[in-house]
Amino acid sequence: MAIHGQQEKTTLGIAEEYHLLFEERGVKTKFIQLTEINGTKALLVASCADCYPAIYRYRPEESDDLGKNVFSAMGIYILRYDDKSYVAVLPVLGEETSYAFSNYYSTDKTNIQSMDKAKIEAYANKIF
């Protein structure tokens, strides 16, 4: 399945439905797909299967340094948490451990129940 707006099917994975810890603009799930755009790895995040996705570019240097896949766009970082989950954070400029936005996305609903904002931010603080 290709998320709406893509020119062709991707080779790196299909869009999967992720459950959100916190609703975003009334949405409780998002579709996330790892893909490649013009030779660059990217993470597509869409509110629905027919919605245009936000495109988060892969950050190879940060990913190598941190040992986790790191993607970013518009100041928001999406960090691989485990093989079923991502953490999304928007750091406050000039404040190392403060976030204007944070959320947790997982394909496993039971993971959602055991996560909270403090755990998200503690994880992000370890990474940054």
Q: What is the pTM of this model?
A: 0.86
What domain range includes position 123? Answer: 16-127
Per-residue pLDDT tens digits for 52-65: 999 999 999 999 98
Count of structural domains within the chain: 1
Q: Is residue 98 part of a domain?
A: yes
Mean pLDDT score across all residues of the chain: 89
For a pLDDT cut of 70, what percent of the chain falls above it?
A: 89
| Residues in Cβ contact with 72 at an 8 Å cutoff, skipping those fewer than 6 apart | 56, 57, 59, 78
Q: Is the pLDDT of residue 115 over 50?
A: yes
* Statement: residue 128 has pLDDT above 90: no
CA distance 26 to 121: 22
6 in any annotated domain: no
63: left (phi over 0), alpha (psi -120 to 50) or beta: alpha
* 84 inside domain: yes
